[in-house]
Amino acid sequence: MLALLAMADCMQDWPEPVVRVQALAESGLAAIPRCYVKPLCDRPAPAADDDASSGLSIPVVDLRGGGGDELGDQLAEAVAAACRGWGFFQVVNHGVRPELMRAAREAWRGFFRLPLPEKQKYANSPRTYEGYGSRLGVEKGAILDWGDYYFLHLSPEAAKSPAKYWPANPVICKEVSEEYGGEVIGLCERLMRLLSASLGLDETRFQEAFGGAECGACLRANYYPRCPQPDLTLGLSAHSDPGVLTVLLADDHVHGLQVRRRDGHWVTVQPLPDAFIVNVGDQIQILSNSMYKSVEHRVIVNAEEERISLALFYNPRGDVPVAPAPELVTPERPSLYPPMTFDEYRVYVRKNGPKGKAQLEALKGQSITENNE
């Protein structure tokens, strides 16, 4: 606990003055500053070498129906195959209204189009991350990503900071995001039942293990400006998501999300119209004792067009210890992770910023306190 408090303490402020990537991009510079230039091993491959050109793509799961036993079983099987093979899938016929999806994306696009001083009123700090931000992690001298974002908690109510919470403009932003959040949280709850059933567990098992009706949900609107040297940098570095599930609404016409295949190659996702992209987070890897694994993903940028995406992170209740479900632990498959709460895990991950899967791997067989020291 003391280690956790000490860590939270070093996260009061960013280690360097924050520069808005959008302002840099709009200044018309021809070369990106050194602090955005990734080491060679992290730079995106030239488009022609991308696995998208080989026709590979993440699976698509059609959620229509599924109420009856047989259809429900088929759906659970489709989800199991997608989680085992990729940890990423697109969902169609998911029940969230396409007009609401578009309205939410356009409301946030409107926010990023506001003049800089207006956006600066919502500048965030690493203490809660809520608000307008341009970096993840507090490591001094870190190589930064080519993107800005707006982050906020949708639920539970108690997690929200009272000050500067929702941007006042665009006026529609709060209403549309809350409505959108409500529908996507409903989708997450449905996916949780399918995931649970797909591992042969009672369909409420996952939800209960993560805190029942008090699971958390956060929204991050990501904005990736045009970049004069897209081959040298990333919009978002490789990472796995710390929570339970992420439901991503990608840009309607600009690609950018790449998923790391089991063999290490990066595949660019081609979003289907009105689909969501879903991925398994670290908490599912922990609860399933690594039967389902969270998967690294990253974002590439381009010189021609800005890109926007909305990521809804569905998280466990902050104070519930999460550990491998006893039903999934056997003598041949012993428990891989120590129990830890999401509040502890999030501080640990936030301190370091995006680091592929290194952070979760480092926890295997150790306690979070050892790692927080």
Ligand X SMILES: O=C(O)CCC(=O)C(=O)O
Nearer to ligand X, 20 or 193 (CB): 20
Nearer to ligand X, 150 or 210 (CB): 150
Q: List, in sequence order, the alpha helices (H) in 114-168.
A: 116-120
Instruction: Output the smallest distance, CB 331 to ligand X, in A.
Output: 36
Q: Is the dihedral of CA 35, 41, 42, 48 positive or negative?
A: positive
- How far, in Å, CA of 65 to CA of 175, rounded? 29
Nearer to ligand X, 130 or 241 (CB): 241
Nearer to ligand X, 78 or 250 (CB): 250
Q: How far is CA 84 from CA 80, 189, 277, 358, in A?
A: 6, 20, 16, 20
Beta strands in 236-317 (DSSP E): 236-239, 245-249, 257-260, 266-268, 276-280, 297-299, 307-315
Instruction: Output the smallest distance, CB 148 to ligand X, in A.
Output: 12
Per residue, the 3-state secondary structure of 161-172, as one string, reads CCCCCCCCCCCC
Nearer to ligand X, 43 or 369 (CB): 43
Instruction: Output the smallest distance, CB 153 to ligand X, in A.
Output: 15
Instruction: Output the smallest distance, CB 241 to ligand X, in A.
Output: 6
Q: How many CB atoms lie within 10 A of CB 5?
A: 10
The residue ranges that bind ligand X (CB under 6 A) are 220, 222, 236, 241, 248, 250, 256-257, 297, 299, 309, 311
* Whether 10 contacts 138, CB under 8 Å: yes
Number of helices (H), then strands (E), in the chain: 11, 12
Q: How many CB atoms lie within 10 A of CB 49?
A: 11
Instruction: Output the smallest distance, CB 367 to ligand X, in A.
Output: 26
Instruction: Output the smallest distance, CB 279 to ligand X, in A.
Output: 8
- How far, in Å, CA of 7 to CA of 4, rounded? 5
Nearer to ligand X, 21 or 311 (CB): 311
